[in-house]
Amino acid sequence: MNSLGFDKPESATRVVVAMSGGVDSSVVAGLLRRQGYDVVGITLQLYDHAEAIRRKGACCAGQDIHDARNVAARLDMPHYVLDYESRFRDAVMEDFADSYMRGETPIPCIRCNQTVKFRDLLAAARDLDADCLATGHYVRRALGPDGDAQLLRGLDPRRDQSYFLYTTTREQLDYLRFPLGDLEKPVVRALAAEFGLDVAEKPDSQDICFVPNGDYASVVTRLRPEAAEPGEIVHSDGRVLGRHQGVIHYTVGQRKGIGIAAAEPLYVIRIDARARRVIVGPREALARVSVYLKELNWLDAAPLGPEGRAVSVKLRSAQPAVEAMLYPGPQAGEARLDLLRPEYGVAPGQAGVLYEADRLLGGGWITRSQDAQAEVAA
């Protein structure tokens, strides 16, 4: 049994490596080449090449494609660039704009993993007769007591990327490999230098590759010009406090940049996109005790029963997990989280990602939440 779990020599095991042009995926290719695997690199061009080459720090386009090619040449391995621009626009960018139009706070990196990378790229790897697809994500894959593949948090909690991979299916997990899950970033950079790769000191790419300088509003406005329609800023007690220049400039939990002068600190409590209203109020109005999920992806072998399941849940990628009870919802793919303690700033469009200790159980998209007195719809 080789290190990737296949009962054959490394030289007879073909691995496709998803190469973004960054240090992480480059080191994955280097590690597998050093171990003697038959490695093929694939880089996805995800948006307009001519535009992308004018910006640094963007993955999957421009300079990064050039860097991935150079890494493949250095490692003496075949490398292909696939034009997925139209797929990326349809599955990720359009969904991103629509989510903001609904008053949500989207996470396009999860949609990208769910569609373009772990659906379309995985299919391309199978077409190349690869035994598996390897990526540079900081997560761990392990076999459970029944031999089923499980996804665990990365060993380095500062680098763990399991939140962004919760939509991975059990079938996909059988085919995926994550060689960096047991490593820390300084070790990865040292390996890149050891392999003689020019990307050893390359900065990490920004989280949302197609949003220049973090200006979400300009991207959404370009895709949906009607998104910049003005509306009212309303206090949770009903008072109209002012006007805004588009709900796309606001997210639930936001405090700075609301555009209202008040004696008390005000937070965005809710966004009513249909009425073009931004509802603000004191921090205590953000407290939520229940969270509702859709499109639940459940990875555990035991089904979620009506008695519920004790879980840890991350409600935002940068926040620690909190304790909750998870119950199935009235429709397939729906679920309800009852939080053991109130949480603040729960935003529709974000993900509720479920864990049991370090093991990823799955997750779903947050649709709405409920405070102690009344339900708040997205």
| 48 has a pLDDT exceeding 80 | no
**pLDDT at position 263:** 85
**Type and span of the H or E element at 190:** helix 185-194
CB 309 within 8 A of CB 301: no
Between the two ends of the chain, the Cα-to-Cα distance in Å is 50
The 10s digit of each residue's pLDDT in 181-240 is 999 999 999 999 999 999 999 988 766 788 867 788 888 888 988 888 999 999 999 999
Confidence of residue 145 (pLDDT cuts 50, 70, 90): confident
What residues are annotated to the active site? 112, 209
**Is the per-residue pLDDT at 62 higher than 80?**
no
Secondary structure, 3-state, 203-268: CCCCCCCCCHHHCHHHHHHHHCHHHHCCEEEEECCCCEEEEECCHHHCCCCCCCCCCCCCCCCCEE
- pLDDT at residue 213, as a whole number: 73
pLDDT in tens, 251-289: 999 999 998 888 889 999 999 999 999 999 999 999 999
Locate 350 and state its tokens.
């974000």
Closest CA relative to residue 28, chosen from 155, 139, 174, 149: 139
Q: What is the DSSP letter of 186?
A: H
Task: Kindly indicate the confidence band of residue 371, based on its pLDDT and cuts at 50, 70 and 90.
Answer: confident
One-character DSSP codes across 57-125: S-TTSTHHHHHHHHHHHHTT--EEEEE-HHHHIIIIIHHHHHHHHTT----HHHHHIIIIIIIIIHHHH
**Cα dist from 193 to 26, 179, 183, whole Å:** 11, 17, 15
Average pLDDT over residues 170-184: 97
Domains of the chain: 10-213 (3.40.50.620), 229-281 (2.30.30.280), 287-376 (2.40.30.10)
Separation between Cα atoms, residue 196 and residue 194, nearest integer Å: 5
Retrieve residue 144's tokens. Answer: 């459970």
pLDDT at 67: 95
| Span 166-185, average pLDDT | 97
Q: Which of 285, 195, 188 is nearest to 236 (CA)?
A: 285
pTM score, whole prediction: 0.91
When the pLDDT of each residue in the chain is averaged and rounded to a whole number, the result is 91
pLDDT, tens digit, for every residue of 85-144? 999 999 999 999 999 999 999 999 999 999 999 999 999 999 999 999 999 999 999 998
